[in-house]
């Protein structure tokens, strides 16, 4: 029986090379004064100025917030919201990676619904007023945040990366222009590409998956598996960048309507406590968590194995699922993903917070969506396994 499911995505998605030019028209249809939420890197690349020009051409005035200096915190949200209010803006535009987009989502909701962003975690407060129209323009490929109803904001008082999910956080419009991602440096391309792959895989193996998300997750996995190495090896490969932008967008749509699972649940506490970029912390966990989950999602992982290799079409599900795990491991190696130890996290410091991290992971709700639902002790043990994880372990040959 098909489970009851809801499917949401932005009202409008503009995508393709030079879609960025559409920001003026999109903003003009929504208001008169925009707040652009971006960062200093985007400014130095000239993207902010370009966006301001497109707005001017359509008689849209704007203010710019460039304070997003790392993965977003409640402090950036407050600063950007104050700027939004002080300037009587009526549209929010995010231009950057997931950090800028997530900050903007919080501003768009708080501007009309009030309160502290953390109030919205776990549905304690529900955003029942329509948010300010938000146009999300990703420059990484990527979080897919432009198409999700999730925002992830660090609570600076308890160092928890809050996963907040409500329909009001979904941007009204997404503009996905792969040309903007051409300047993404290698380490950002690797981290954000693996994040996108993790979204597609987790959306597909999640207990919350349904036929609409399956279709999109499969397409996303295929686009990413076939283009991630190319975009990493040659950042100017426009075809690979286009495929990655589309794959990341689809990954976002898939997980927003299905869910992420154990990888993301365990990854957020590492980001909050050790400031490991989100994509890297996912990658550090992904092979071990897939290995742990395999017995409960063999057929689904077999589909992934068959995307990685034509030959696996002849394999049994068990063999193809094994191939999926070893292929993800090899991919991490090719993308030069460090483990927690080589990233530089002190072993004692890590050990001392394992119990808190496992508790925070469970509290987020994501592990409950995993095909094999872990206990607190199993999560703790997975953290220990990942500390010194060896991505280079031999591939099992058939
Ligand atoms: N809301 C969601 O659905 C969702 C999903 C996944 C991740 N996230 C969140 O997104 C955040 C991570 O976002 P991210 O991985 O996109 O990284 P990011 O936004 O933190 O950006 C990383 C760095 O790359 C730079 N950068 C971005 N695009 C660039 C470009 N085209 N050229 C040159 N430099 C560029 C940025 O300036 C920054 O210095 C995390 O906080 C994570 O939790 C949110
Ligand atoms: Fe993610």
Establish whether residue 143 lines the binding site of ligand 1, counting it when its CB lies within 6 angstroms of any ligand atom. Answer: yes
CA of 99, closest atom in ligand 1: 19
Which one, of 121, 117, 125, 67, lies nearest residue 96 by Cα? 67
In angstroms and rounded to an integer, the radius of gyration of the C-alpha atoms of the chain is 20
Whether the predicted pLDDT of 398 surpasses 60: no
Reported as a pLDDT band with limits 50, 70 and 90, residue 228 is: very high
The whole-number average pLDDT for the span 162-179 is 97
What do you get for the CA distance between the two ends of the chain, in Å?
36
Which atom belonging to ligand 1 lies closest to the Cα atom of 161? 43
**366 CB within 6 A, ligand 1:** no
pLDDT of residue 159: 87
> Is 276 a residue whose pLDDT tops 90?
yes
In this structure, what token pair is assigned to residue 257?
């309507």
How do 33-37 and 12-15 pair as beta strands? unpaired
**Is 94 strand, coil or helix?**
strand
Q: How far apart are CA 258 and CA 249, in angstroms?
A: 14
pLDDT over 90, % of the chain: 96
Q: Is the pLDDT of residue 312 over 80?
A: yes
Mutate to test the pocket of ligand 1, among 20, 69, 97, 161 (most ligand atoms within 8 A of CB): 97
How far apart are the C-alpha atoms of 382 and 185, rounded to whole Å? 30
CA of 143 to the centre of ligand 1 (A): 7
How close is the Cα of 337 to the center of ligand 1, in Å?
17
Task: Compute the average pLDDT of residues 112-133.
Answer: 96
Say how far apart CA 64 and CA 227 lie, in whole Å.
Answer: 34
Handedness of CA 88, 91, 95, 101 (dihedral sign): positive
Does residue 20 surpass a pLDDT of 70?
yes
Query: Which residue shows structure tokens 């002080």?
Result: 86
Banded pLDDT at 103 (limits 50, 70, 90): very high
Helices and strands: H and E segment counts in the chain: 16, 8
Q: Is the CB of 267 under 6 A from ligand 1?
A: no
- Residue 314 exposure: Cα atoms within 13 Å on the Cβ side: 3
Confidence of residue 394 (pLDDT cuts 50, 70, 90): low
Strands 173-176 and 160-165 come out as: unpaired
Conformation bin of residue 248: beta by default, left when phi > 0, alpha when psi is -120 to 50: alpha
pLDDT at 6 exceeding the cut of 80: yes
Q: Which residue has tokens 């990366």? A: 161
Kindly indicate the confidence band of residue 2, based on its pLDDT and cuts at 50, 70 and 90: confident
Is the CB of 184 within 6 Å of ligand 1? yes
Which of 42, 278, 286 should be mutated for ligand 1, with most atoms under 8 A from CB? Answer: 278
Residue 396 has pLDDT above 70, yes or no: no
Q: Whose CA is nearest to atom 5 of ligand 1?
A: 143
Check if 151 has its Cβ closer than 6 Å to any atom of ligand 1. yes
pLDDT tens digits along 182-219: 999 999 999 999 999 999 999 999 999 999 999 999 99
Stretch (H or E) spanning 244:
helix 238-257
């Amino acid at each position: 029986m098909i489970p009851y499911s809801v499917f949401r995505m932005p009202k409008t998605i503009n995508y393709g090379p030079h879609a960025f030019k559409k920001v003026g028209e999109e903003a003009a249809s929504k208001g008169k004064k925009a707040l652009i939420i971006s960062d200093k890197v985007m400014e130095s690349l000239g993207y902010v100025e370009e966006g301001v020009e497109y707005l001017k051409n359509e008689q849209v005035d704007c203010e710019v917030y460039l304070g997003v200096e790392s993965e977003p915190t409640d402090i950036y949200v407050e600063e950007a919201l104050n700027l939004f209010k002080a300037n009587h803006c009526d549209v929010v535009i995010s231009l950057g990676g997931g950090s800028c987009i997530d900050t903007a989502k919080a501003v768009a909701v708080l501007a009309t619904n009030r309160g502290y962003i953390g109030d919205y975690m776990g549905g304690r407060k529900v955003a029942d007023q329509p948010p300010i129209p938000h146009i999300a323009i990703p420059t990484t490929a990527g979080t897919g945040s432009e198409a999700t109803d999730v925002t992830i904001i660090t609570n600076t008082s308890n160092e928890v990366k809050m996963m907040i999910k409500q329909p009001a956080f979904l941007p009204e419009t997404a503009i996905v222009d792969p040309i903007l991602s051409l300047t993404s440096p290698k380490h950002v391309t690797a981290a954000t590409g693996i994040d996108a792959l993790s979204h597609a895989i987790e959306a597909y193996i999640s207990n919350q998956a349904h036929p609409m998300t399956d279709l999109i997750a499969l397409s996303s996995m295929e686009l990413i598996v076939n283009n991630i190495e190319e975009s990493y090896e040659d950042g100017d490969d426009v075809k690979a960048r286009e495929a990655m932008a589309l794959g990341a967008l689809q990954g976002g749509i898939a997980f927003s309507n299905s869910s992420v699972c154990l990888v993301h649940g365990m990854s957020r506490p590492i980001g909050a406590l050790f400031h490991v970029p989100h994509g890297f912390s996912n990658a550090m966990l992904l092979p071990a968590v897939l290995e742990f989950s395999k017995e409960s999602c063999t057929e689904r992982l077999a589909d992934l194995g068959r995307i990685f290799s034509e030959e696996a079409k002849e394999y049994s599900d068990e063999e193809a699922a094994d191939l999926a795990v070893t292929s993800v491991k090899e991919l991490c190696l090719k993308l030069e993903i460090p483990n927690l130890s080589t990233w530089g996290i002190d072993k004692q410091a890590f050990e001392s917070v394992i119990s808190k991290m496992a508790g925070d992971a469970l509290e987020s709700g994501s592990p409950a969506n995993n095909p094999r639902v872990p206990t607190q002790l199993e999560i703790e043990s997975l953290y220990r396994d990942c500390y010194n994880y060896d991505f280079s372990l031999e591939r099992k040959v058939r």
